[in-house]
Amino acid sequence: MTFASKITIARICLVPVFAVLAFWYGSTVKAGAPDEPLRWWALGVFVLAASTDGVDGWVARRFNQCSKFGAFIDPIADKALLLTGVITLSLVDWGSPGWHLPPWFAAIVILRDCIILGGVRILWNHHREVKFAPHWSGKVCTVTQMFALGWVMLRVTLFSPTIPCAIAAVFTIWSSVAYIRQGYGILRGRELPQ
């Protein structure tokens, strides 16, 4: 196993640590005595895990450690972190009652990933090579989802988390449509333009 893959595995290991800290902090909020160091620990673990995404890619390219295993495990680690963050922060209040991600936002994020996985399965069933080109809307989708998570965890009270979630939801749906079109093009034996 390459060093880059070990970094990716470390990211996966940090996911349950974040979830435990986040739920623990949420329980202190619910009890009416928020333990702020727990919130900062949860945020720190999340940021550390998210930052390793760029590090493992850089190490793989810089030291010629690209591997099939790394290419397979990296998106799983990314999705595990993002989905855990979205689900956890939609279930746990991180401040005054209602300071969390709206459940409808978590549902949209989960549905998008289910659609993509279902599409991959359909392509495999039709013996098509599953090779999705990253679409700009997918990248913006990830950034806006991370922004919504950060908004809740940092407790930016300028306005409700619903606003960043609505923006992220638009790009989540947009990227879903882009990947559906791409999958349909692969199924039909042609590539659709980006």
pLDDT in tens, 58-90: 888 888 888 888 777 888 888 899 999 999 999
Instruction: Provide the token pair at 83.
Output: 């989905």
131: pLDDT confidence band, cut at 50, 70 and 90?
low
Averaged pLDDT, 151-156: 91
Residue 27 inside a domain? The answer is yes
- pTM here is 0.85
CA 107 centroid distance within chain:
13
Q: What is the DSSP letter of 33?
A: -
Give the whole-angstrom CA distance, residue 192 versus residue 177.
12
Give the whole-angstrom CA distance, residue 20 versus residue 23.
5
Residue 83 inside a domain? The answer is no
pLDDT at 156 over 60: yes
Final residue of a domain: which of 74, 90, 123? 74
**What is the chain's mean pLDDT, rounded?**
88
| φ/ψ of residue 155, rounded to 5 | 55, 55
Predicted local distance difference test score (pLDDT) of residue 182: 85
177 plus 105 within the same structural domain: yes
Let me know: does 142 contact 134? Beta carbons within 8 Å: no
55 plus 120 within the same structural domain: no
CA 62 centroid distance within chain:
25
Averaged pLDDT, 125-130: 78
Predicted local distance difference test score (pLDDT) of residue 74: 82
28-40 in b/e form (b: 16+ CB < 10 A) is ebeeeebeeebbe
pLDDT at 191 over 60: no
4: pLDDT confidence band, cut at 50, 70 and 90?
confident
Give the whole-angstrom CA distance, residue 53 versus residue 51.
5
105: pLDDT confidence band, cut at 50, 70 and 90?
very high
pLDDT at 2 over 90: no
Residue 157 inside a domain? The answer is yes
Predicted local distance difference test score (pLDDT) of residue 123: 83
Residue 90 inside a domain? The answer is no
Say which residue the tokens 């329980």 belong to. 27
Say which residue the tokens 């599409």 belong to. 119
Domains of the chain: total: 2
pLDDT at 143 over 80: yes
133: pLDDT confidence band, cut at 50, 70 and 90?
low
For the chain, the 3-state helix, strand and coil shares in percent, each to the nearest 5, are: 75, 0, 25
Say which residue the tokens 């790394």 belong to. 70
121 plus 190 within the same structural domain: yes
Which domain range does residue 43 map to? 1-74
Residue 84 inside a domain? The answer is no
Say which residue the tokens 């930052």 belong to. 51
Residue 79 inside a domain? The answer is no
44 plus 125 within the same structural domain: no
Say which residue the tokens 């974040």 belong to. 18
**pLDDT, tens digit, 9 for 90 and up, residues 31-52:** 999 999 999 999 999 999 988 8
